[in-house]
Structure 1
Amino acid sequence: MEMEQEIRDFLMSRRARITPAQAGLPYVGGDRRVPGLRREEVAMLAGLSVEYYTRMERGKIGGASESVLDAIARALQLDEDERTHLYDLARNVAPRPHRNRSKRTSPITTSVQQVLNSISVPAVVQNERLDILAANDLGHALYTVLFTAAKQPPNFARFVFLDPRSDDFYPDREDAKNLVVAVLRGTVGRDPLDHKTTELVGELSTRSADFTARWAKHNVRRHSRGRKVINHPVVGRLDLTFNDFALPGDPHLSITTYTAEPDTPSADALTLLASWNHTEHQKRTGTVIGGNRHNNG
């Protein structure tokens, strides 16, 4: 029943955002009781009967053919991420018995960490619920404020909505919050029975009215590539491009890298970040400073 409600809310939210004019429908006078398209209008655009589309919008979407889902996606003008989400919801109407993935051994093997360490730009490994599970030195330095959070492993969603330091860390807080919520919404659609994701969403909903309001919009995005602007506490503003690369052998994990355009202030700031991180490493390990071994003992 929860998944049927999820389908209903998603399809209704997508329908409500499209006006008849945007859908190419002729103007018909009179008052409209809905802000966007009516069910019968979506059904007509998709080439379906009103009864069939109404049944689908009530969550009875399991078993729908690919052609039917594609027709609905076109009628509702879904983007690629939203279309994928619709397919995920249809697949999970009658989900398979729950597989408790939390009991798996740590997927961060020595070889994965070696790959991370070989990357010359900041890089982290994250899962679909936005936990940071591993990082190279520059990735750790980039997200040092997350790695010092009380609850570990660091989690982007928890940081953005529950840690007041995120207000300074993300200059574009609205975009950061919207991205986090949209990524989590997609994660729930792919695996609605993952109890750790459910617990995270429940925690955020309970502790943040802001999260709850954004969650109700049913926006969906994949965390694959984009722009990330960070106000780092040491090196200042960083305007970065992030790219996700699937981790072979585990579709639920990805390596995210962060790069800056050459010959820009952000590229200079990344160089400064590497220098700062090196100095901090020397302080922690007591390595040679000024020709003498630093030793507090």
Structure 2
Amino acid sequence: MATQIAECLARDKRIPPFDDRQTPALEPKKVLYIDFELDRAQFRQRYAVIGEDGVTLEDKYEMSPNFLRGEDYWDGNMIEGYYSFTDMLLQDFDNRIADHDVQILIIDNLSFLTPGTIANATVAFKLMHQLQKLKKSREISILIVAHTPKSLRHGPLTEQDLQGSGDLVKVADSIFAIGRSRLSPDLRYLKQIKCRSGRIEYGEDNVAVYRLAKFDLAAQLGTKVADATSSENFLGFDFLASESEEGHFALRRRYSTGSTVKRTKRSGRIGRAKRLASEGRSLSEIALLLGIGKSTAKRYVNDA
């Protein structure tokens, strides 16, 4: 999602469902994406079609020229005059921002910025204040990726799920979280956790549901060359629907017998299938959202 956000900002495009805003057009932004997670080869694989041999990369996605990506190449030595790795790293960020007139900085992810654990309140608070100082001095926006638990949850996502939660929440202007859906391995949902300067539109009653897969982002953004063929070469979040979060986190089985859980789950799916059909969703979309086959989706929709 972070790469997709960076690419959209660099082209002044909005990610669905946030593209329905009636706002004035803005100039594309210069985005610096600091990637501590992937090396260059891994990054290329995500944004290209992998050939039949499983190795060759074909039809690579062309990122915006305003999208700048950097990797960590630290040799382990401290430069004279610096007292910590974090101070040295943030100064390098500052230099790159000045050199390239960067307007937005994206860091993936937070845990790489300091040798200390982010779960430590003192470490997290100090780091966030350093980033706030950088944001204000350079008049930029900063998006920081932080980890949440990777297992399926038995309840809604909250600020307590954020790594180093307490002090990060205090300093951050806005926070959104991405959860895994129990309905299908490739479904994710986005939920707003905090919004300092506005109201929360995508809370627990209205999360944005996406399919995590390779798709044709250029066609979605309207940046594809007119005679170019369709190409699913961008690994990202393809919007499906806005729904209640409750339908996506895992059920607590210990409170019910297996048969009761199955009946409750089936009944809930039938209700959701009928609602999605009434909204004009196709059987294929309903099947994907509910994690069932197309024939089952049809049966649920027609259930009396």
TM-score by length of 2: 0.23
In proportion to residue count, which structure has more helix? 1
TM-score by length of 1: 0.24
In proportion to residue count, which structure has more strand? 2
Structure label with greater radius of gyration: 1
